[in-house]
Structure 1
Amino acid sequence: MYTGTILGWVGYVKVDGKTFKFLGNDGKVPVDQAVQKNLQITSTQSTFTLTAGSVDLTVNFLSPVEPDNLVNHSFPFSYLAVTATSNDGQSHSVQVYTDISAEWVTGNVSQIVSWSTSAGDMITHQAQLVDQTPFVEVGDRIQYGSVYYATSNTQGTTYQSGEDEVVRSQFVNNTTLLNTQDTQFRAVSDRWPVFGMAHDLGQVSSTSAPVVWSVGHVRDPAVEYIVQGGFQNRSLYFWSQYLNISDAISAFHDDYPPALMRANSFDQQVKRDAQAISNDYADLVALSIRQSFAASEITISKNGDGIFDTSDVLMFLKEISSDGDVSTVDVIFPTWPLYLYTSPALGKYTLLPLFEYQATGQYSNQWSIHDLGDRSYPKAVGHNDGKDEAMPVEECGNMLIMTLSYTQRTGDKSLISTYYSLLDQWAQFLITDSLIPANQLSTDNFARSLTNQTNLAIKGIIGIKAMSEIASLMGDGARSSNYSSIASSYVDQFMGLAMSSDSKHLTLNYGNETSWGLSYNLYADKLLGTNLFPDSLYQTQTSWYSNLVNEFGLPLDTRNTFTLSGWEIWTAAIVKSTSLRDHLIFSVHQYAANGNSDRPFTDWYDTKDGKSILFTARPVVGAHLAFLVLSNATDTTTTGSSSATPLGPTSGGGSSGSTGGSNNNNEGGSNSAANRVMASWFTLSIPFAFVVLGNMVMFAS
Structure 2
Amino acid sequence: MLFFLLSAFFFVFSTAVPWSASPFNPSSIPLAVRTPYLSTWLPQGSGTPLNGAWPQHWTGQTVGWSGFIKVDGTPYSFLGEPAIPASFAKATQKSMEFTSTQSVFVMSAGAVDLTITFLSPVEPNDLSKQSFPFAYMALSAASTDGNSYTVQLYSDISAEWVSGDSSLPVNWTTSTGADTLVHQVQLQTQTPFVETSDRILQGSVFYSTTVASGVTYQTGEDVVVRSQFVNSSVLLNTKDTNFRAISNAWPVFAFAHDLGKVTGTPSNPVVVSVGHVRDPVVSYIVAGGKLQDRSSYFWNQFSDVTDAITSFLQEYGDTLSRNSKFDAQVQSDASAISADYAAIVALSIRQTLGATEITISKNDDGSWNTSDVLVFMKEISSDGNVNTVDVIFPAYPLLLYVNPLLAKYLLAGLFEYQATGQYPNKFSVHDLGADYPKAIGHNAGDDEAMPVEESGNMLIMALSYAQKSGDNSQLMTYASLLDQWTQFLISDSLIPESQISTDDFAGKLTNQTNLAIKGIVGIKAMSVIAGILGDSEKSSNYSSTADSYIGRWQSLAINPDQSHLTLSYGNSSSWGLAYNLYADKLLKLNLFPDSVYQMQTNWYRSVQQPYGVALDTRHTYTKSDWQIWTAAIMTDTNARDMFISAVKKTASNGLSSQPFADWYEARDGTPEGFRARPVVGGHLALVR
* Partner of residue 164, structure 2: 107
1:2, distance to aligned residue in structure 2 (A): 1.6
Q: d(CA) in 1 for partners of 2:211 and 2:403?
A: 36
Question: In the alignment, residue 2 of structure 1 is paired with which amino acid?
Answer: W
Question: In the alignment, residue 393 of structure 1 is paired with which amino acid?
Answer: V
| Alpha carbons 2:134, 2:274 under 8 Å: kept | yes
Question: In the alignment, residue 434 of structure 1 is paired with which amino acid?
Answer: S
Q: d(CA) in 2 for partners of 1:411 and 1:584?
A: 32
Aligned residues: 628
Equivalent of 2:531, from 444, 462, 472?
Answer: 472
Question: In the alignment, residue 33 of structure 1 is paired with which amino acid?
Answer: K
Equivalent of 2:176, from 107, 119, 123?
Answer: 119
Alignment of structure 1 residues 590-629 onto 2, 5 Å: 590-629=649-688
Q: d(CA) in 2 for partners of 1:195 and 1:4?
A: 22
The question of 1:292 aligning with 2:348 is answered no
Q: d(CA) in 2 for partners of 1:178 and 1:563?
A: 54
The question of 1:53 aligning with 2:113 is answered no
Alignment of structure 1 residues 226-241 onto 2, 5 Å: 226-229=285-288, 230-241=290-301
The question of 1:251 aligning with 2:308 is answered no
Segments of 5+ residues of structure 1 without an aligned counterpart are: 630-701
Q: d(CA) in 1 for partners of 2:451 and 2:81?
A: 48
Q: d(CA) in 2 for partners of 1:92 and 1:265?
A: 33
1:598, distance to aligned residue in structure 2 (A): 1.1
Q: d(CA) in 1 for partners of 2:83 and 2:591?
A: 61
Q: More deviation in 23-32 or 168-177?
A: 23-32
SS in structure 2 at match of 1:546: helix
Q: d(CA) in 2 for partners of 1:6 and 1:357?
A: 37
1:489, distance to aligned residue in structure 2 (A): 0.4
Q: d(CA) in 1 for partners of 2:629 and 2:82?
A: 42
1:414, distance to aligned residue in structure 2 (A): 0.5
Q: d(CA) in 2 for partners of 1:31 and 1:324?
A: 42
The question of 1:4 aligning with 2:4 is answered no
* Partner of residue 652, structure 1: none
* Partner of residue 598, structure 2: 539
Q: d(CA) in 2 for partners of 1:99 and 1:364?
A: 51
Alpha-carbon RMSD: 0.6
SS in structure 2 at match of 1:574: coil
Q: d(CA) in 2 for partners of 1:399 and 1:276?
A: 30
* Partner of residue 303, structure 1: 363
The question of 1:160 aligning with 2:218 is answered yes
**Per-residue displacement from partner, 1:632-678 (whole Å, max 9, x unpaired)?**
xxxxxxxxxxxxxxxxxxxxxxxxxxxxxxxxxxxxxxxxxxxxxxx
* Partner of residue 671, structure 1: none
* Partner of residue 88, structure 2: 31
Q: d(CA) in 2 for partners of 1:513 and 1:26?
A: 59
1:4, distance to aligned residue in structure 2 (A): 1.4
Equivalent of 1:569, from 622, 628, 640?
Answer: 628
The question of 1:407 aligning with 2:466 is answered yes
SS in structure 1 at match of 2:539: helix
1:31, distance to aligned residue in structure 2 (A): 1.9
Q: d(CA) in 2 for partners of 1:625 and 1:57?
A: 33
| Alpha carbons 2:624, 2:663 under 8 Å: kept | yes
Q: d(CA) in 2 for partners of 1:367 and 1:132?
A: 37
1:67, distance to aligned residue in structure 2 (A): 0.5
* Partner of residue 184, structure 1: 242
Equivalent of 1:204, from 239, 248, 262?
Answer: 262
Question: In the alignment, residue 336 of structure 1 is paired with which amino acid?
Answer: Y
TM-score by length of 1: 0.89
Q: d(CA) in 2 for partners of 1:588 and 1:32?
A: 38
Q: d(CA) in 2 for partners of 1:584 and 1:378?
A: 35
Question: In the alignment, residue 615 of structure 2 is paired with which amino acid?
Answer: L
1:341, distance to aligned residue in structure 2 (A): 0.4
1:614, distance to aligned residue in structure 2 (A): 1.0
**Per-residue displacement from partner, 1:245-296 (whole Å, max 9, x unpaired)?**
0100000010000000000000000000000000000000000000000000
Question: In the alignment, residue 100 of structure 1 is paired with which amino acid?
Answer: I
* Partner of residue 15, structure 2: none
Q: d(CA) in 1 for partners of 2:428 and 2:383?
A: 19
**Per-residue displacement from partner, 1:216-237 (whole Å, max 9, x unpaired)?**
0000001000001210000000
**Per-residue displacement from partner, 1:359-395 (whole Å, max 9, x unpaired)?**
0000000000000101x11000000000000000000
Q: d(CA) in 1 for partners of 2:658 and 2:543?
A: 45
**Per-residue displacement from partner, 1:17-55 (whole Å, max 9, x unpaired)?**
111111101233542111111111000000011101010
Q: d(CA) in 1 for partners of 2:416 and 2:210?
A: 43
| Alpha carbons 2:83, 2:223 under 8 Å: kept | no
Question: In the alignment, residue 242 of structure 2 is paired with which amino acid?
Answer: Q
Alignment of structure 1 residues 477-488 onto 2, 5 Å: 477-488=536-547
Q: d(CA) in 2 for partners of 1:100 and 1:115?
A: 12
The question of 1:583 aligning with 2:639 is answered no
Q: d(CA) in 2 for partners of 1:135 and 1:538?
A: 46
* Partner of residue 455, structure 1: 514
Question: In the alignment, residue 169 of structure 1 is paired with which amino acid?
Answer: S
SS in structure 2 at match of 1:431: helix
* Partner of residue 644, structure 1: none
| Alpha carbons 2:433, 2:439 under 8 Å: kept | yes
* Partner of residue 136, structure 2: 79
| Alpha carbons 2:84, 2:226 under 8 Å: kept | no
Q: d(CA) in 1 for partners of 2:624 and 2:165?
A: 32
Question: In the alignment, residue 214 of structure 2 is paired with which amino acid?
Answer: G
SS in structure 1 at match of 2:687: helix
1:119, distance to aligned residue in structure 2 (A): 1.0
* Partner of residue 145, structure 1: 203
**Per-residue displacement from partner, 1:577-621 (whole Å, max 9, x unpaired)?**
211111110000000001011111100000111111111100000
Q: d(CA) in 2 for partners of 1:26 and 1:453?
A: 53
| Alpha carbons 2:72, 2:150 under 8 Å: kept | yes
Question: In the alignment, residue 23 of structure 1 is paired with which amino acid?
Answer: L
Alignment of structure 1 residues 237-636 onto 2, 5 Å: 237-374=297-434, 376-629=435-688
SS in structure 1 at match of 2:326: helix
Q: d(CA) in 2 for partners of 1:579 and 1:411?
A: 34
Q: d(CA) in 2 for partners of 1:505 and 1:26?
A: 56
Question: In the alignment, residue 464 of structure 2 is paired with which amino acid?
Answer: S
Question: In the alignment, residue 60 of structure 2 is paired with which amino acid?
Answer: G
SS in structure 1 at match of 2:156: strand
Q: d(CA) in 1 for partners of 2:90 and 2:259?
A: 20
Q: d(CA) in 2 for partners of 1:580 and 1:46?
A: 31
Q: d(CA) in 2 for partners of 1:323 and 1:137?
A: 13
TM-score by length of 2: 0.91
SS in structure 1 at match of 2:468: helix
Q: d(CA) in 1 for partners of 2:341 and 2:293?
A: 40
Matched-pair identity in %: 61
Q: d(CA) in 1 for partners of 2:461 and 2:629?
A: 15
| Alpha carbons 2:186, 2:203 under 8 Å: kept | yes
Q: d(CA) in 1 for partners of 2:299 and 2:608?
A: 49
SS in structure 2 at match of 1:526: helix
Q: d(CA) in 2 for partners of 1:536 and 1:118?
A: 67
Q: d(CA) in 1 for partners of 2:340 and 2:91?
A: 30
SS in structure 1 at match of 2:334: helix
Q: d(CA) in 1 for partners of 2:271 and 2:477?
A: 46
Alignment of structure 1 residues 625-664 onto 2, 5 Å: 625-629=684-688
1:567, distance to aligned residue in structure 2 (A): 0.1
**Per-residue displacement from partner, 1:468-521 (whole Å, max 9, x unpaired)?**
000000000110000000000000000000011111000000001100000000
